Chain A
Amino acid sequence: MEKEGGSRDQFPIGMRILAVDDDPTCLKLLEALLLRCQYHVTTTNQAITALKLLRENKDKFDLVISDVHMPDMDGFKLLELVGLEMDLPVIMLSANGETKAVMKGITHGACDYLLKPVRIEELRNIWQHVVRRRKFDSRDRSYLDTDEDYEKPQSINSERGQGQNASGSSDRSMKPNRKRKDQNEEEEYDYEENAQENEDPSTQKKPRVVWSVELHRKFVAAVNQLGIDKAVPKRILDLMNVEKLTRENVASHLQKYRLYLRRLSAVANQQASMLAAFGGRDPSYLQIGALDGFGNLHSPATSGHLPALTSFQPSGVLSRPNSVGLGLQGLSPSRIVQVGNIRNSNNNPINNFSDFQSMNLPGSQHGNFLQGMSTSLELNQLQRHKRMQEANSGLPVGFSNNGLVSGSRDSSFVNVTNNPLLSQAHPQQTQSKGLGSHSTMRTLSMTTEPFQGSGEVSSSLADSDKCNESWQGAVQLTGFADENIPSNGSFNHENLANIEANLLAISQTESNPLKIPSCNLVGAAPHDPILGRDIQSEVSFLGGNTMRMPVAIEGASRFLNFSTAGTSKQKMEELKQDFKHEINYVFSSFPSSSNRTNIIIDPFTSTQRLNDFNSSRNMDMRMVAQTSINAQIVAPHCKIDKSCTDSQPKYKDEYLSSNSKLQDGFSSNSFSFGNIGNSVIKQEMDDIAFMDGDMGCDFYPLGACI
């Protein structure tokens, strides 16, 4: 829908609205009402489509009206995504007028909440939300995600959503002002540094605040000091003691942060429950803490399902015994595991998070493995080595069972199991914009909701729809992770390396092919030399979806083919499918990962890779590459923060965007690897041959396969 230039001038006439409601009656009515108000309306009955439309061109709409209760995605989730990525005003629509429902809408950032049936009088005034937002934007607006669709062509996150920024802000009238302002602004990532250079806030539009890693760190420190419940912007501001930071900046950042925390905890809960569901999984998964348990892996693995966590455990291990903060740790294999489990049976329960996570779960669970992987990546590299040993031992067990290996349908993610690192790495990557390991966590942390799609997806690999679903899940996952990522900035290669190392270790130590589930080797940090191991974490582990994340590992040999090593061709098929699903997930999770990750979906390769994987130790590299790929992939879509340091919300966005990207890719082709490849692969993948989705990743010949 093009906007007629003339109509724009007569605002609110011609205001462009995107209406989303799965109920056809309501949607038609709403459309008619809006048209009667002389707005320009686009309707869709699917949230996914809506997101796609919005992402296509951020400047295409002024306002979004969405139903709360939708089958493919929760309205609140859509609301958050839109708020984060596109920063458009969103109005919620619902038949439920209970206070708590309305409250939920507000806390999620809705600028209004309307009850069905909607009356035209109420709609006549909705344009105020657009104006209000514009005004606010022009003032000092702190975006966590510098790469907001608004302004700043030179937005900080050059890497991310460049295109997005380019589209300009929806606030047309402000655009010229903004641009000018943007250009004057030098603050890219480091607000503090540029503080002095900013114009005098009192007289001019305040420059956008870029929440750099340091800034965010200060913020988090201040919040923790005050206590999350007592943290009020004014006090936070005082504690932070940053010049040129206003209370409003802090307030809006705080709001996002709270949302993020909430999501994380939701995800964590989910994981926890999932873990529990899996039976005896080690709750420690969640913490990822010292994974020393590869053993965990085993357990799950054996079950075929690979309870999400179990498989994940290894990842934990991988990360390192200390698993300090590396994302993985937080990621807690559980997350990953979760994914895995779901696989087995289209269980939805896991779908949510675990699915995603466990995606990679060895064997059965693919999902999150990537996620787990990513976290593991974060783990110390040193740890890695150790872990690897452990992992290897641990993995074998797990892996063999993993669905991955056997192409069991269940877990699409299978891959992950072995390479928690790998797969995790990815998710993490994406997430950790800066957080590094957390990124994986993030993906994991994504609420379980997303997973629903994913979980199921894994099971039905063949079902492209599922992929989409999972994708959704995945997307969601990524969204959350923010929290976990400690703003360590940089998703570190180290982590990746660690993860990879772990993976490798796992694969290597074991004589049997670790069929590392096509873990998504999340493109962990860009080539991490350490990673050099041949962690060919192919993202493809995901079973069918061999998403190979072409980790841009420099020269990294190849992806970790987590896909169950040694799987026979048939298995590969299955894995592939799973992988597909997983990949979907993985992709989504990666969005933010380092630029390098490329996600390559190559079912075939995965198998090979696995083999190779075992033999090769360049897991790390792969992982790194993968994650980097992710980042790459994501970059275009989402505003991926180059520096992981970005505030979490960024990640979220990235994820979201990447996810969406992935989704797009996936949904359109059910597995559209190609799509992904196109979009993502473009990113650098220096060495990765796979870029561009060609399956032929140059993976490290696994040879022995795990």
Chain B
Amino acid sequence: MGKYSSWDFKKRDHDAKVNMNGDASVQVDKRRGRICEHADICKGYLDDQFNQIEELQDEVSPNFVEEVVALFFKDSSRLLANIERVLEKYPRDFSRLDSLMYQLIGSVSSIGALRMKNECTSFRDHCSDGNLEGCKRSFQKVKREYTTLKQKLEKYFQWLRQAGPVEQATNSRK
């Protein structure tokens, strides 16, 4: 039956593979890019954009994903620190807060950090409402998401390394 489109099938298959091997397996899904959807490690935390990033990694830039992620964390920690500072010093300066968060959202969405992006968006909503408490709460959530994501990705990369270069090498560009 056509219950599953070919894509679904792949996905199902993909998921099955992942689940079967649990954490340790790094399935190469040529169709979707090198690494399967972050297995269970990052499920829900990263969206398809992250896949795109992974797909950009190739022989020419073999560590692309890690580089981008490292860049992201470095830059976003700076932005977060800025926001925190402004929240302390000029808590009512919503336009400034909004503008800072806007910058953060740019890179958050570029990296595909779904949950973090959602929290950032709600932060901006609070800003436009002039809701300081809401902002502070949102900000805490953003920071939490940030920390969680960082941990997950670190784990992920460790995982990849353990999986060995073989799989990665065989991964071909789309």
Do A and B pair up? The answer is yes
Decide: A26 near B107, CB < 8 A? Known: A32-B61, A95-B102, A96-B102: yes
Distance of A36 Cα from B112 Cα, bound (Å)? 19
Decide: A25 near B56, CB < 8 A? Known: A32-B61, A96-B102: no
Contact of B71 among A25, A36, A67 (CB under 8 A): A25
- The reply to whether the CB of A116 lies closer than 8 angstroms to some CB of chain B is yes
- The reply to whether the CB of A23 lies closer than 8 angstroms to some CB of chain B is yes
Q: How near does chain A come to B8, taking the closest CB pair, in angstroms? A: 21
B109: nearest chain-A partner, CB-CB: A117
| CB atoms of A117 and B49 under 8 A apart | yes
- The reply to whether the CB of B75 lies closer than 8 angstroms to some CB of chain A is yes
| CB atoms of A117 and B112 under 8 A apart | yes
Q: Which of B103-147 contact A (CB under 8 A)?
A: 103, 105-107, 109-112
Q: How near does chain A come to B135, taking the closest CB pair, in angstroms? A: 19
Q: Which of A58-98 contact B (CB under 8 A)?
A: 67, 69, 94-96
- The reply to whether the CB of A120 lies closer than 8 angstroms to some CB of chain B is yes
For this complex, 28 residue pairs linking A to B, each with C-beta atoms less than 8 Å apart, are A22-B103, A23-B75, A23-B103, A23-B106, A23-B107, A24-B107, A25-B72, A25-B76, A25-B110, A25-B111, A26-B106, A26-B107, A28-B67, A29-B68, A29-B110, A32-B64, A69-B99, A69-B102, A69-B103, A69-B106, A95-B109, A116-B106, A116-B109, A116-B110, A117-B49, A117-B109, A117-B111, A120-B52
- The reply to whether the CB of A33 lies closer than 8 angstroms to some CB of chain B is yes
Residues of B within 8 A of A67 (CB): 106
Residues of B within 8 A of A120 (CB): 52
Decide: A117 near B102, CB < 8 A? Known: A25-B72, A29-B53, A32-B56: no
By a beta-carbon cutoff of 8 Å, the part of chain B in contact with chain A is: 49, 52-53, 56, 61, 64, 67-68, 71-72, 74-76, 99, 102-103, 105-107, 109-112
Decide: A25 near B52, CB < 8 A? Known: A32-B64, A69-B102, A96-B102: no
A21: nearest chain-B partner, CB-CB: B106
- The reply to whether the CB of A119 lies closer than 8 angstroms to some CB of chain B is yes
Q: How near does chain B come to A245, taking the closest CB pair, in angstroms? A: 43
Contact of A25 among B64, B102, B107 (CB under 8 A): B107
Q: How near does chain B come to A354, taking the closest CB pair, in angstroms? A: 21
Distance of A69 Cα from B31 Cα, bound (Å)? 35
Residues of A within 8 A of B109 (CB): 95, 116-117
Residues of B within 8 A of A24 (CB): 71, 74-75, 107
Residues of B within 8 A of A117 (CB): 49, 52, 109-112
Q: How near does chain B come to A120, taking the closest CB pair, in angstroms? A: 7
Residues of B within 8 A of A119 (CB): 52
B120: nearest chain-A partner, CB-CB: A95
B58: nearest chain-A partner, CB-CB: A36
Complex interface bits, A27-58 against B, C-beta within 8 A gives 1, otherwise 0: 01100110010000000000000000000000
Distance of A387 Cα from B98 Cα, bound (Å)? 49
Decide: A25 near B49, CB < 8 A? Known: A33-B56, A96-B102, A117-B110: no
Q: How near does chain B come to A28, taking the closest CB pair, in angstroms? A: 6
Decide: A23 near B110, CB < 8 A? Known: A29-B53, A33-B56, A119-B52: yes
Q: How near does chain A come to B107, taking the closest CB pair, in angstroms? A: 4
Mostly, the A contact residues are mixed
By a beta-carbon cutoff of 8 Å, the part of chain A in contact with chain B is: 22-26, 28-29, 32-33, 36, 67, 69, 94-96, 116-120
Q: A95-B102, A117-B52, A119-B52 provided; 20 other pairs, C-beta below 8 A?
A: A23-B106, A24-B75, A25-B71, A25-B75, A25-B76, A28-B67, A28-B68, A28-B71, A29-B53, A29-B68, A29-B110, A32-B56, A32-B68, A36-B56, A69-B99, A69-B103, A96-B102, A117-B109, A117-B110, A117-B112
Distance of A445 Cα from B110 Cα, bound (Å)? 37
Q: How near does chain A come to B49, taking the closest CB pair, in angstroms? A: 5
Q: How near does chain A come to B39, taking the closest CB pair, in angstroms? A: 22
A95: nearest chain-B partner, CB-CB: B106
Contact of A26 among B56, B99, B110, B112 (CB under 8 A): B110
Q: How near does chain A come to B37, taking the closest CB pair, in angstroms? A: 17
Q: How near does chain A come to B174, taking the closest CB pair, in angstroms? A: 10
Contact of B105 among A36, A95, A118 (CB under 8 A): A95
Q: How near does chain A come to B56, taking the closest CB pair, in angstroms? A: 5
Residues of B within 8 A of A26 (CB): 106-107, 110
Q: How near does chain A come to B54, taking the closest CB pair, in angstroms? A: 11
Residues of B within 8 A of A29 (CB): 53, 56, 68, 110
Residues of B within 8 A of A22 (CB): 103
Distance of A362 Cα from B61 Cα, bound (Å)? 57
Q: How near does chain B come to A537, taking the closest CB pair, in angstroms? A: 39
Distance of A24 Cα from B56 Cα, bound (Å)? 16
A118: nearest chain-B partner, CB-CB: B110
Q: How near does chain A come to B146, taking the closest CB pair, in angstroms? A: 13
Q: How near does chain A come to B61, taking the closest CB pair, in angstroms? A: 7
Distance of A95 Cα from B64 Cα, bound (Å)? 22
B106: nearest chain-A partner, CB-CB: A95
Residues of A within 8 A of B53 (CB): 29
Choose among B56, B74, B99 the residue with the greatest number of A CB atoms under 10 Å from its CB. B56
Q: How near does chain A come to B147, taking the closest CB pair, in angstroms? A: 18
Choose among B52, B105, B107 the residue with the greatest number of A CB atoms under 10 Å from its CB. B107
Residues of A within 8 A of B112 (CB): 117
B74: nearest chain-A partner, CB-CB: A24
Residues of B within 8 A of A95 (CB): 102, 105-106, 109
Residues of B within 8 A of A69 (CB): 99, 102-103, 106
Distance of A69 Cα from B105 Cα, bound (Å)? 12
